[in-house]
């Protein structure tokens, strides 16, 4: 009898030892509490969200400028070489100004007529630093050296550059294949916010150009 009691005591003691060493089983309530605590720590409460500082005007302005830059066409950032000076520039360099862009070719007689109207436009406007004029030679068979002579012979005093195939393709994709047809004298105006506005095809008179350009020059940033 004593032996049986001793054995029973040993079994119970062993069971207690095993229970003490084993991890406690999680109750349903305990399982519900753990995720709730984690969620409260990781997520912001409405009060916490309301207590965040209001962004400053400068921060909002920087965010707006960054977003605008991200939305600009890739060709605005493409490096172009001015035929007359040999200096490199991009469309983005003139952000905040009004940019008049013409796609052309040196063999195009209509382009020369259009350039004559642009000269008259410049005379009418006078020295307006808010207007930048750029001619883009889109003919893949023409080079910068020949364009330099072309500009010098015609007395052109604004930017002219030969575009890469990548830039030419993007212009056509964005504004239509007609921009690759120089005799139709394609032109567009990029406003102060960096938005491009294609002009009607065909030769535009100086007065027509003046009216179109002034509409954007009068706009503030």
Report whether 188 contacts 197 (CB < 8 A): yes
**Distance in angstroms (rounded) separating the CA atoms of residues 75 and 208:** 27
The architecture in CATH of the region 71-217 reads 3-Layer(aba) Sandwich (3.40)
pLDDT band at 196 (very low <50, low <70, confident <90, very high): very high
Nearest one of 156, 119, 158, 161 to 138, comparing CA atoms:
161
Q: Does residue 133 carry a pLDDT above 90?
A: yes
Helices (H), 83-154: 109-125, 144-154
Mean pLDDT of 171-187: 96
Enumerate the domain spans of the chain: 71-217
pLDDT band at 126 (very low <50, low <70, confident <90, very high): confident
């Amino acid at each position: 009898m004593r032996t049986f009691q001793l054995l029973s005591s040993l079994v119970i003691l062993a069971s207690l030892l095993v229970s003490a060493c084993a991890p406690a089983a999680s109750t349903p309530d305990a399982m519900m509490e753990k995720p709730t605590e984690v969620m409260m720590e990781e997520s912001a409460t409405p009060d916490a969200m309301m207590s965040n500082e209001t962004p400053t005007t400068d921060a909002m302005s920087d965010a707006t400028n960054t977003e605008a830059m991200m939305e600009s066409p890739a060709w605005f950032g493409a490096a172009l070489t001015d035929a007359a000076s040999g200096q490199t520039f991009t469309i983005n360099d003139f952000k905040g100004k009004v940019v008049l862009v013409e796609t052309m070719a040196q063999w195009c007689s209509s382009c020369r007529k259009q350039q004559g109207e642009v000269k008259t436009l410049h005379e009418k406007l006078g020295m307006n630093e808010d207007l930048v004029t750029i001619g883009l030679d889109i003919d893949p068979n023409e080079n910068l050296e020949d364009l330099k002579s072309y500009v010098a012979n015609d007395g052109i005093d604004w930017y002219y550059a030969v575009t890469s195939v990548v830039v030419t393709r993007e212009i056509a994709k964005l504004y239509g294949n007609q921009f690759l047809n120089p005799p139709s004298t394609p032109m567009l105006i990029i406003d102060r916010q960096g938005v491009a506005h294609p002009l009607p095809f065909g030769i535009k008179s100086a007065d027509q150009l003046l009216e179109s350009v002034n509409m954007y020059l009068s706009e503030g940033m």
